[in-house]
Amino acid sequence: MTSFDLTQWRIAVDALPLGVVIFAENGTEEWRNSVASKMGGARHTDVLIDQAIDQVGRRVVAGEAATSQLDLAGPPPRSFSIRGLSLLSDGVVVTVEEITEQIRIEKVRTDFVANLSHELKTPVGAIAILAELLEGETDRETVKKLALRIESETHRMTQMVDDLFELSGIETKSETQIQVDVSEVVAEVERIISTVALHSGITIKTHFADKPMLVVGDKTQLLSAISNLAENAIKYSNAGGIVELTLWHEGKDVVLSVSDQGIGIPADSLPRIFERFYRVDRARSRGTGGSGLGLSIAWHVISNHNGTLSVTSIEGEGSVFLVKLPQLKINTP
């Protein structure tokens, strides 16, 4: 191999998205590409990566097959796949690939399938039991009650499927974003949830200035997100409580808070509250209905609009969901 060929080879390996380390047949490190160089250093995590690379290299030099996974606690937690392979011209190549995102995606996929199975199993099981009770029943009043419960469970499954379709549709940004007045969206949300609030004994209060609160976005998606936040606040409030939607400008953002005086969220559940199907208390959530996807839908919508969605909560006192959206820049002469 000429020096020109070797240079070209190194340029090619440097362009790879994974770390590559070459060891001589005696176990001495001879070269590493730029990705692998960035992984080494004086920090504790860098030292651990270097040690893992060295161990795999020495094992391959000794004639062993060597593949290992290094999990670092962080923060943030990170995982690496380290593989060693003998070279034809003697020596060893060790590759280092960060697999943190792959592991996260696989966990999300596994949790999603498990949660979906669990959520669908509950109404399906209920319908099966109710159908058995209905079979042979002659009392008209009992038949009516059982039929209504079957209808209720069927609507629950339908809502879950509808929410799944909605979620799949908003996980990517809308290409039809226009000027949207968030004040109008909040006013429409108030109209939508007023009947539910009245039925639940909850008072809805809205606070915002008369001037427009303009953002660039998809009005339908924003309506869905804010409705989900408001309905969630009603769902977990006690009769006689107040749900407030407050809208204001803060720097370059349009800010909306949705607050309630409800049962609140435990501190250990707050980091997971926007996950699909995540339930703070499954027994408590079963009585409130819903698909378990509302907050996840809201989070994706706000993210698609380059905004943020956060929550603060105290058990027994209530929760505040805070939406921040970049306001539309208006060029004035």
pLDDT confidence of residue 173: 58
Residue with tokens 């039929």: 147
Q: Residue 198 — very low, low, confident or very high, per pLDDT cuts 50/70/90? A: very high
So what's the pLDDT on residue 9? 78
Domain positions in the chain are 3-98, 103-170, 175-333
User: How far apart (Å, rounded) are the C-alpha atoms in residues 14 and 154?
Assistant: 57
The letter for the amino acid at 298 is A
CATH code of the domain occupying 175-333? 3.30.565.10
CA angle 45, 49, 52 (to 5 degrees): 140
User: What per-residue confidence (pLDDT) applies to 284?
Assistant: 47
Whether 103-170 and 3-98 are alike in CATH topology: the answer is: no
d(C-alpha 237, C-alpha 74), whole Å: 37
Neighbours of 67 (CB within 10 A): 13
> Quick one: fold of 3-98?
Beta-Lactamase (3.30.450)
Q: According to the model, what pLDDT value does residue 312 have?
A: 95
Section 168-190 average pLDDT: 81
What's the pLDDT at 31? 86
Q: Are 186 and 299 in contact (CB under 8 A)?
A: no
Q: What is the arrangement of strands in the sheet containing 308-314, beginning at the earlier edge strand? A: 203-207, 242-250, 253-259, 318-326, 308-314
Q: Are 288 and 302 in contact (CB under 8 A)?
A: no
- Residues of the chain with pLDDT > 90, as a percent, come to 29
Work out the average pLDDT over 189-215: 90
Please state the rounded mean pLDDT for residues 181-193.
93
Least confident range from 23-32, 183-192, 218-227, 250-259: namely: 23-32
Asked whether the predicted pLDDT for residue 186 surpasses 90, the reply is yes
The share of the chain scoring above pLDDT 70, in percent, equals 85
pLDDT digits (tens, 9 = 90+) for 84-104: 888 877 788 888 888 888 888
Indicate whether 15 pLDDT > 90: no
Buried b (16+ CB within 10 A) or exposed e, 130-160: beeeeeeeeeeeeeeebeebbeebeebbeeb
Q: What are the pLDDT digits (tens) for 249-264?
A: 999 999 999 999 999 9
Give CA–CA dist 17/27, Å, rounded: 24
Whole-number Å distance between alpha carbons of 87 and 189: 65
**What integer pLDDT is reported at residue 283 of this predicted model?**
42
Residues in the chain: 333
pLDDT at position 8 is 79
**pLDDT tens for each residue of 267-288:** 888 888 888 777 665 444 444 4
pLDDT of residue 12: 84
Please state, in angstroms and rounded to a whole number, the distance separating the CA atoms of residues 134 and 151. Answer: 13
pLDDT tens profile 136-174: 888 889 999 889 888 888 877 777 777 777 676 675 555
Whether residue 105 is predicted with pLDDT greater than 60 in this model: the reply is yes
Q: What is the CATH number of domain 103-170?
A: 1.10.287.130
Distance CA 227, CA 163 (A): 13
